Amino acid sequence: MTEIEIFSASTCPFAQRSRLVLIEKDVPFSLTEIDLENKPDWFLKISPQGRVPVIRHAKAVIWESAVINEYLEEVFADPPLMPQVLEDRARARIWVTYANDTLVPLFYKLMAARDEASQEKVGAKMALVLEFIEKEGLAQAGDGPYFLGRGPTLTDFTFYPFFERWPAIAHYSGLELSDTYPRLEKWLAAMQGRASVQAIANPGDFYIRHYESYD
Ligand SMILES: N[C@@H](CCC(=O)N[C@@H](CS)C(=O)NCC(=O)O)C(=O)O
């Protein structure tokens, strides 16, 4: 039985976060792809801000990927994608907030930077963010490979879509994920090895084409 409907767009990193959580939890769902350039009227009635992702579960309509993911975690508790220890749960949320407040806006700023001066300026800020993730976020996980240790949590699925799109960042801004960030590389390899990620991953070229004229 289909329990959940998700309204999504294949290019959307926020929708990808929630699709990954649904797959990880093995929740039956139906997916409706929305053309964001040409949103149908019926979709605008479901999604108050006209954005994806949105899920519908019985009478509940929920949006904002971080909120959707917390909702899925509460309704479909098994397998858990949050740590059990309260302090660790708080830490997972700290990094979800960091992804949303710091990484994501800078990601789009860097994607939009198409001249050398702004690439250098925004690229330097992004390098600091990567270093912070490496030395403050992933370092606390011991041998990792995930943000909270040996098992993935909502935090990992919050960050991952932006790193799947990194080939486009590297292509347009020149900022590679080099071996300066060994923990980040190990984390990315662990994420790329997951069946959920492989089931819906797009290749780098897909994103290079998608972000060709981004501003
Ligand atoms: N903060 C939201 C962001 C969602 C978002 O920006 N979605 C984009 C696609 S990636 C969208 O629907 N854009 C269409 C629009 O804003 O008109 C979340 O985490 O779900």
96 within ligand 1 shell (Cβ under 6 A)? no
Q: Are residues 16 and 60 in the same domain?
A: yes
Q: Is 68 in the pocket of ligand 1 (CB under 6 A)?
A: no
Same domain, 31 and 71: yes
pLDDT at 215: 74
- Distance in Å, CA 144 to ligand 1 centroid: 30
Indicate which atom in ligand 1 lies nearest the CA of residue 51. 12
Q: Clarify whether 12 is annotated catalytic.
A: yes
> Quick check: pTM over 0.85?
yes
Give me the catalytic one of 4, 6, 9, 12. 12
Helix 116-132 vs helix 166-173: angle between axes, to the nearest 10 degrees?
Answer: 140
Q: Do β-strands 29-33 and 54-57 pair in parallel, antiparallel, or remain unpaired?
A: unpaired
Residue with CA closest to ligand 1 atom 16? 51
69 and 100 part of one domain: no
Query: Where is the domain boundary, 14, 45, 75?
Result: 75
Residues 93 and 198 reside in one and the same domain: yes
Pocket of ligand 1, candidates 6, 8, 11, 12: which has the most ligand atoms within 8 Å of its Cβ, to mutate?
12
Q: What dihedral do alpha carbons 121, 122, 125, 130 form, nearest 10°?
A: -130
Residue 148 · residue 92 · CB < 8 Å: yes
Q: Is residue 81 part of a domain?
A: no
Alpha-carbon separation of residue 76 from 14, 22, 130 (angstroms): 20, 9, 32
Is there an atom of ligand 1 within 6 Å of 36 CB? yes
For residue 18, give the ligand 1 atom closest to its CA.
20
The predicted structure's pLDDT at residue 1: 54
Which residue has the least CA distance to atom 10 on ligand 1? 12
Cα Rg of the chain (Å, integer): 17
Q: Where residue 16 sits, what CATH number does that domain have?
A: 3.40.30.10
Q: State the 10-residue block means of pLDDT for the chain, 215 residues long.
A: 89 98 97 97 95 96 98 98 97 98 98 96 98 96 94 98 98 91 96 98 97 87
Residue nearest to atom 2 of ligand 1 (CA): 64
Residues 96 and 34 in one domain: no
Number of domains in the chain: 2
Neighbours of 157 (CB within 10 A): 25
For residue 119, the domain's CATH number is 1.20.1050.10
Q: Is the CB of 174 under 6 A from ligand 1?
A: no
Domain that holds residue 38: 4-75
